[in-house]
Amino acid sequence: MVDGVEDGWQSFENAIMDLPKTPIPDEEMGQDMLYSSGTTGKPKGIRVPLKHIPIDQSDALMSVIAPLYDINENTKYLSPAPLYHAAPLRFTMRVNYLGGTNIIMENFDAEMSLSFIEKYKINMSQWVPTMFVRMCKLPESIRTKYDLFNS
């Protein structure tokens, strides 16, 4: 829990209080772990060999994607999709790495998505066609209620 207290959770500030303040020597960038679809039971984590990328470098794909999509410290990324999917997971990781802000929805809701775009001044997001269809099917009074263009 960052910047607050919640029952059953330890605050981030307290968790790091006793850790050393010096940089970790030879620190490496973390890596995601994707999961199988669970067709034979529960989804299973798929371990891949670590890339051993120094923390001050970037992996090749994201080195291309970040400037292409203008991902930087000013990015306000809305993730309406779950982070167990590769694209939203990797985009949130990159936005976080570059100092931007991630707004992660607990679950997709068409009107809530529009309200989040307005409220948080979202300037980047990813959507699947079904999400657009649901937003387009909202009554016009709801679709036009939110300012989506001054983000």
- Core vs surface per residue 109-131: b (16+ CB within 10 A) or e: ebeebbebbeeeebebbeeeeeb
Give the Cβ contact number of residue 23 at 10 Å: 8
Q: What is the pLDDT of residue 42?
A: 86
Does residue 78 sit in helix, strand or coil?
A: strand
Q: In the predicted model, is pLDDT for residue 32 greater than 70?
A: yes
**110-122 pLDDT tens trace:** 999 999 999 999 9
Rounded to an integer, the average pLDDT of 57-67 is 77
Q: What is the pLDDT of residue 4?
A: 66
**49-61 pLDDT tens trace:** 888 888 777 667 7
Class of domain 56-143: alpha beta
| The dihedral formed by the CA atoms of 19, 31, 37 and 106, expressed in degrees to the nearest 10 | 50
Q: In the predicted model, is pLDDT for residue 131 greater than 90?
A: yes
Q: What is the pLDDT of residue 72?
A: 93
CA distance 65 to 54: 19
The answer to whether 111 and 142 are in contact (CB under 8 A) is yes
Rounded to an integer, the average pLDDT of 129-151 is 93
Q: In the predicted model, is pLDDT for residue 6 greater than 90?
A: no
What's the pLDDT band for 46 if we cut at 50, 70, 90?
confident
Q: In the predicted model, is pLDDT for residue 1 greater than 50?
A: no
CA distance 137 to 72: 33
Give the Cβ contact number of residue 10 at 10 Å: 10
